[in-house]
């Protein structure tokens, strides 16, 4: 405002005069209608968007990257497209950033335009009160608008020139990129041809080496096969000789086995005859013993009846207890001898330790001939193998020596202690 007044002092004078006039009219309460404002003389408000150099460069870069992408898509191969996907993403990010920058610039320009409009509205209000000063200000505003239009035209021309320069630079960059891509493709093709040539040479060398190795292996296998056939013929000859020898040996063994079987059959027949004779003799002996035992049992019953009568008759006999004690001592001594006799036939089981003290109380029932009717182990400090070995020893030791006559009755059912020594078998 002050700059306008300094450039045009007459506007200052007109402004002061109008202020004095309006003050005088205010005091005399004069009313005036609002002056009409010529629409043709009203200054135009130009809304301009100020774009920074950075935004302009971003727009130019977006245009260049877009054109470069289209050119690259037509020139590059599938492999190059995959590599440029990342460049496209970056260009998209740059475009978004440029768009955001442009939007911010537009907002700033709008704010600036609004501020300019507000200021112009204030000036219009002042011009309504100060008509003369307003007209001068409108003239100045029109001049400034013309200057702004000229500057805008110049700026647009500069922008157009920059755009044309950017397009030319983009075209040159595209041409350079196309040439570079062509050179790179040619280099890659040449490298691929060289690699293929090297691979063919290496394959030929490897094929020759494999053919030579195969020929050597075949020769070696043929030699080994010939040696194997020679060894096989020798082994076959030896096998045939061994077969003939084995056939003769089998014949000899067959004859010897047949002779042995014949001898075994004869021996088994003799053994069976002997066992049959022994079993027959044993059965005869048992039958005779059973008849004798039955006879003796009858005599024992008669003797018992007689003995009971004699005992009742001589109950007051003082020597009777001494006789019973003497009989008990005799039976105990016989039991000790019976244990020593059984020990001669006892075989120590493998499950018992050599130094273990074994002991058993055995009950036997005998016939008058000394044969065992039954045997039981009443007590034992050993295992079942020891018990079975004691029973087997008692069976092997029969017949036992027993007294004849009425005294046998005291030895028909006996209990004795069997305690083998460490020197037993």
Strand partners, 415: 363
Q: Read off the pLDDT of each residue in 292-303 and give the average, rounded to a whole number.
A: 64
- pLDDT, tens only, 134-145: 888 888 889 998
- Quote the radius of gyration of the chain (alpha carbons, Å): 72
- CATH (residue range 327-418): 3.30.1150.10
Mean pLDDT across 193-218: 87
pLDDT at 129 over 70: yes
For the chain, the average pLDDT equals 78
Long-range pairs for 14-22: beta carbons < 8 A, 24 or more residues apart: 14/130, 14/132, 14/133, 14/136, 15/130, 15/132, 15/133, 17/132, 18/129, 18/130, 18/131, 18/132, 18/133, 19/130, 22/129, 22/130
From 23-27, 118-122, 364-368, the region with the lowest mean pLDDT: 23-27
- pLDDT one-digit tens code per residue, 339-360: 888 888 988 888 777 777 788 9
Tokens representing residue 45 in the block: 């408000």
The long-range contacts involving 12-16, CB below 8 angstroms and separated by at least 24 positions, are 14/130, 14/132, 14/133, 14/136, 15/130, 15/132, 15/133
- The whole-angstrom separation of Cα 75 and Cα 83 is 13
- Give me the pLDDT at residue 301, please: 67
Q: Which of 320, 244, 124 is nearest to 236 (CA)?
A: 244
The proportion of the chain whose per-residue pLDDT surpasses 90, expressed as a percent, equals: 6
pLDDT digits (tens, 9 = 90+) for 30-42: 454 554 544 444 5
Residue from 203, 284, 4 nearest 123 by CA: 4
Q: Model-level pTM greater than 0.75?
A: no
Question: Average pLDDT in the 86-113 region?
Answer: 83
Pairing of strands 372-380, 413-418: unpaired
Q: Alpha-carbon distance 360 to 376, whole Å? A: 10
Q: Distance between CA atoms of 365 and 356, rounded to whole angstroms?
A: 29
Which of 151, 188, 179 is closest to 50 using CA atoms? 151
Given this model, what pLDDT does residue 136 score?
A: 80
More confident residue, 193 or 277: 193
pLDDT reported for residue 135: 82
Is the pLDDT at 25 greater than 70, yes or no?
yes
Q: Per-domain residue ranges for the chain? A: 2-28+43-199, 327-418
What is the reported pLDDT for 290? 66
User: pLDDT tens-digit profile of 240-267?
Assistant: 888 788 888 888 888 887 887 888 888 8
Q: Residue 131: pLDDT band by 50, 70, 90 thresholds?
A: confident
Judged against a pLDDT cut of 80, whether residue 278 lies above it is answered with no
For 288, the token pair is 């005779």
Higher pLDDT, 78 or 397: 397
Please tell me which residue, 125 or 371, carries the higher pLDDT value.
Answer: 371
The pLDDT value recorded for residue 51 is 54
């Amino acid at each position: 405002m002050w700059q306008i007044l300094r450039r045009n002092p007459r506007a200052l004078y007109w402004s002061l005069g109008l202020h004095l006039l309006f003050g005088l009219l205010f005091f005399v309460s004069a009313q005036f209608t609002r002056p009409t404002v010529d629409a043709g003389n009203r200054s135009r408000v130009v809304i301009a968007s100020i774009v920074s150099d950075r935004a302009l460069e971003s727009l130019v870069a977006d245009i260049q990257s877009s054109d470069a992408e289209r050119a690259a898509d037509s020139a590059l191969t599938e492999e190059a497209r995959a590599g440029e996907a990342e460049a496209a993403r970056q260009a998209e990010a740059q475009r978004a950033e440029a768009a955001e920058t442009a939007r911010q610039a537009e907002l700033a320009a709008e704010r600036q335009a609004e501020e300019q409009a507000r200021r112009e509205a204030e000036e219009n209000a002042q011009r309504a009160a100060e008509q003369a000063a307003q007209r001068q200000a409108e003239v100045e505003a029109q001049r400034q608008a013309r200057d702004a239009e000229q500057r805008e035209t110049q700026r647009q021309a500069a922008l157009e020139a920059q755009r044309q320069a950017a397009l030319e630079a983009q075209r040159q960059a595209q041409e350079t990129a196309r040439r570079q891509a062509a050179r790179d493709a040619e280099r890659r093709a040449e490298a691929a041809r060289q690699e293929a040539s090297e691979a063919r040479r290496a394959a030929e060398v490897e094929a020759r080496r494999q053919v030579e190795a195969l020929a050597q292996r075949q020769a070696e296998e043929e030699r080994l096969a010939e040696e194997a056939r020679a060894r096989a013929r020798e082994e076959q000859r030896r096998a045939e000789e061994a077969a003939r020898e084995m056939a003769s040996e089998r014949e000899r063994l067959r004859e010897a086995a047949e002779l042995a079987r014949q001898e075994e059959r004869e021996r088994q027949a003799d053994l069976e005859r002997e066992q049959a004779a022994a079993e027959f003799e044993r059965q005869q002996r048992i039958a005779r013993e059973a008849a004798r035992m039955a006879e003796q049992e009858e005599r024992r019953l008669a003797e018992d009846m007689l003995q009971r009568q004699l005992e009742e008759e001589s109950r007051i006999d003082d020597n009777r207890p001494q006789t019973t004690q003497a009989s008990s001592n005799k039976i105990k001594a016989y039991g000790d001898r019976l244990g020593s006799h059984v020990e001669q036939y006892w075989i120590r089981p493998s499950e018992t330790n050599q130094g273990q003290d074994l002991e058993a109380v055995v009950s036997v029932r005998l016939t008058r001939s000394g044969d065992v009717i039954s045997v039981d182990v009443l007590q034992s400090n050993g295992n079942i193998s020891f018990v079975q070995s004691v029973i087997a020893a008692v069976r092997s030791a029969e017949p036992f020596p027993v007294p004849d006559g009425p005294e046998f009755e005291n030895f028909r059912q006996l209990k004795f202690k069997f305690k083998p020594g460490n020197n037993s078998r």
